[in-house]
């Protein structure tokens, strides 16, 4: 995870898209895949333990606390 402090504009989107593409090029393989779709500010991670409030809280998509659902086993 990296904290970034950029405006939500086209130039910042292009910068983050390019950075993710380069990380994907360098580090993605058959085991690891960099998620290049997370450049859009609406898709940026929520801090764990904070409430996700995108749009109205409706029965099918209620506001909820973000959390880690699964942690991979470290086989090192």
Structural domain spans, the chain = 10-40+47-65
Q: Compute φ and ψ for 64, nearest 5 degrees.
A: -145, 160
Q: What is the pLDDT of residues 2-44, one digit of tens each?
A: 778 899 899 999 999 999 999 999 999 998 899 898 888 776 6
Q: What is the pLDDT of residues 49-70, one digit of tens each?
A: 888 777 888 988 888 888 888 8
pLDDT at 12: 93
Which pLDDT value is given to residue 42?
72
């Amino acid at each position: 995870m990296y904290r970034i402090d950029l405006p939500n504009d086209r130039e910042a989107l292009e910068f983050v898209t390019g950075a993710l593409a380069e990380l994907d090029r360098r580090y993605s393989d058959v085991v690891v895949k960099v998620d290049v779709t997370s450049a859009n500010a609406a898709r940026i991670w929520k801090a764990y333990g904070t409430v996700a409030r995108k749009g109205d809280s409706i029965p099918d998509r209620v506001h909820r606390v973000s959390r880690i659902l699964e942690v991979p086993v470290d086989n090192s």
